[in-house]
Structure 1
Amino acid sequence: MLLLKPLSKSLPALLAAMSLAVLGSCGAPEEEEPSIQVEGVTAVRVNNDPIYVSDVELEAVARGLITPGEEFGPGNESYDTVLDQLIDQKLMAQEAMARGLARTPAAKRRLEMARERILGNLLVENLVASEVTEDSIEAMYKEQVLLQQDNDEVSVAHILLDTEEDARRVYQEIQDGKSFESLVVANSLDTATRMENGDLGYVAPNDLPDPFPVAIANTKVGGVSEPFQSADGWHIIKVKDRRTSPPKSREEMRPEIVTFLTLNQVSKILRRLRTEATIEKGGKSAHVVPESGFSLTEEAERSEGALATDTDAEGPEL
């Protein structure tokens, strides 16, 4: 089991890193290409070129304003803002076309790169639809609830000492009947907590550096640990209380779970594609497999939030 680094961004916000530039650069097709016919409700026409309600919804999803499938229409306070920005985008694209800016080799290459990004986004959407199912979300949610229960909060106080000799001496005084609190005031080197009886408040043991989690797990409520060493010195802790935090609801955790499952599938398929592909760098042909996996996974792991997972629970091979 592993407690991953937190996630602050929902799936739409993470995917926006791939999609925003793409959507902004593809206002209209080149003149010699046929117009793409899309079925849907028209939100507005700009010089007879339609912007569909679905376009506005897609842009809102990409910006993290709504989640996929959430209704987004004129009643939403952000709808007109997003629509106006799409109108401006359409006007700019039409003007660029009128000036022939899409015909240069550099422009064609940039448009091709944008097309590739859009196709990548479509693949991600396909993975979400086929692999990120309600059953997989429910299974991971149950796993998260169990893992969170293993990380209950504990009220802890400690005495920080310089040497093992000092720690053994103070520990013996506790065993001889002196109160933990009086020994904190007389001996602890932690000036931030010394006058507070060494109180660290309620903490999640797994958020503390080693060997605190083990020492806390081996100490009963009301009990005192044997001395142990950390990077700061020698410690004696007292466990004052334990409490179980209520787990988040399924809907509260859903964005984080969907994000993780999606990035997991994208990472897997990219590893397979890189293994099978011939990639030339500097004129040399080689199979290139990144050690760190997919960059969006790294971005997710650097973000805020919290999501635990069993690292052995991989989805089906793609």
Structure 2
Amino acid sequence: MQRFGEHRGPIIALALCIASLSACDTDPQVRASTRQVDGATAALVNNEAIYISDVELEAAAQGRIEPNTPFGPDHPEFEPVLEQLIDQRLLAQEAVRRGLDLDPEARRRLEAGRERLLGNILVENLVANEVTDEAIDEMYAAQVELQQLDDEVRLRHILVDSEDEANAVLAELQGGRDFTEAAFEHSKDIRTRLDGGNIGWVAPNEMSDPFPAVIGNTSVGELSEVFQSEQGWHVLRVDERRTRPPKTKAEMRPEIITFLTFTQISEILRDLRTQADIRRREPVTIPVQTEDEPTDNETESPDTE
């Protein structure tokens, strides 16, 4: 079972982009509250209709309304969103009047927008059957089980520049010197030096190497062997261990929805890429010309007397 944050691969950028646009729509609670598009008109702009359902979709896209919230002309967010849509429609009508929609560049941009919209609609339809309350519950249970394997530890450390210094500090501590005093005298870590080398509570698996392995091999109350990181040489002491309380399902729900959505998009894109005929344009290499090198149009003139 993957943990959140472990996504890797060449399709991540597109998949996460689509996931971020579509994840909220794939939440079962959101889908349950989605109303049917209807023909009730909110406004006419030069005889072109803006429907109440258009206003609702825009309000939801802007995050102005929550799932299962009744929405209509009496809602306080209705008029501000409707005014935006009226302005948008007026600008679009003026662009058409000026013939801007016939411009080749405009057509390319319109087609790109159409592709993005169709892609998002496809994702919403394909993912809808997978991102269910049952799938969310199952994923939450698995993540809680994984998270409970991660203890948190309260650490102290002393950071020095060389292995010899670290061994000398370790010898002092093993001889009974107070850790706080030794940290104050020797540690180069400005952040923890004045607090007895106290790092605080951390999750070992979220720390950079080699901290997780060193912590795993050090019992509570014991000193580690000296070890090196990117910062320098360390002596570490584990003061306490505790089991990290898991997030609630409500706290983890957005992450789960994004993860499940990402997984489905990844599978869809892998299948589509396998089936598709994709031909990339070969790069054109332009030779670099030096200042002393004549161009094709330049020839050396023969010497004349």
Secondary structure of 1:222's partner? Answer: coil
Match of 1:15 in 2: 21
Q: Does 1:4 align with 2:5?
A: yes
In the TM superposition, what are the counterparts of 1:183-202 in structure 2 within 5 Å? 183-202=182-201
Q: CA deviation at 1:270?
A: 1.5
Q: CA deviation at 1:277?
A: 1.2
Which structure's CA Rg is the greater one?
A: 2
Q: Does 1:280 align with 2:279?
A: yes
User: Residue 45 of structure 1 aligns to which amino acid in structure 2?
Assistant: L
Contact 1:13 1:63 in 2 (8 A): no
Q: Does 1:253 align with 2:259?
A: no
User: Residue 4 of structure 1 aligns to which amino acid in structure 2?
Assistant: G
- Residues of 2 paired with 1:219 and 1:177: CA distance? 18
1:128-169 per-residue CA deviation (whole Å, 9 max, x = no partner) reads: 312212222112222222333333432211011233233233
Moved over 6 A (4+): 10-13
- Residues of 1 paired with 2:218 and 2:75: CA distance? 53
Alignment CA distance shift 1:233-1:98 (3 Å):
closer
Alignment CA distance shift 1:183-1:226 (3 Å):
same
Match of 2:148 in 1: 149
User: Residue 186 of structure 1 aligns to which amino acid in structure 2?
Assistant: E
Contact 1:148 1:247 in 2 (8 A): yes
Secondary structure of 2:201's partner? Answer: strand
User: Residue 152 of structure 2 aligns to which amino acid in structure 1?
Assistant: E
Contact 2:157 2:197 in 1 (8 A): yes
TM-score by length of 1: 0.70
Gapped runs of 5+ residues in structure 1? Answer: 17-37, 285-318
Secondary structure of 1:281's partner? Answer: coil
User: Residue 112 of structure 2 aligns to which amino acid in structure 1?
Assistant: M
Match of 2:233 in 1: 234
- Residues of 2 paired with 1:194 and 1:185: CA distance? 5
Match of 1:59 in 2: 58
Alignment CA distance shift 1:217-1:75 (3 Å):
farther
- Residues of 2 paired with 1:115 and 1:281: CA distance? 22
User: Residue 252 of structure 1 aligns to which amino acid in structure 2?
Assistant: E
Q: Does 1:177 align with 2:183?
A: no
Aligned residues between the structures: 262
Alignment CA distance shift 1:160-1:239 (3 Å):
same
- Residues of 2 paired with 1:244 and 1:42: CA distance? 57
Q: CA deviation at 1:172?
A: 3.0
Contact 2:4 2:255 in 1 (8 A): no
Alignment CA distance shift 1:115-1:134 (3 Å):
same
Query: What is the RMSD of the two structures over their aligned residues, measured on CA atoms?
Result: 3.3
Secondary structure of 1:196's partner? Answer: coil
| Higher-RCO chain (CA-CA 8 Å, sequence separation at least 6) | 1
In the TM superposition, what are the counterparts of 1:1-318 in structure 2 within 5 Å? 1-4=2-5, 14-15=20-21, 39-66=38-65, 71-74=70-73, 77-282=76-281
Match of 2:303 in 1: none
User: Residue 199 of structure 2 aligns to which amino acid in structure 1?
Assistant: L
Alignment CA distance shift 1:117-1:44 (3 Å):
same
User: Residue 238 of structure 1 aligns to which amino acid in structure 2?
Assistant: R
- Larger mean Cα displacement after TM superposition, 195-204 or 241-250: 241-250
Q: CA deviation at 1:39?
A: 2.7
TM-score by length of 2: 0.72
Contact 1:12 1:62 in 2 (8 A): no
- Residues of 2 paired with 1:40 and 1:128: CA distance? 28
Alignment CA distance shift 1:187-1:69 (3 Å):
same
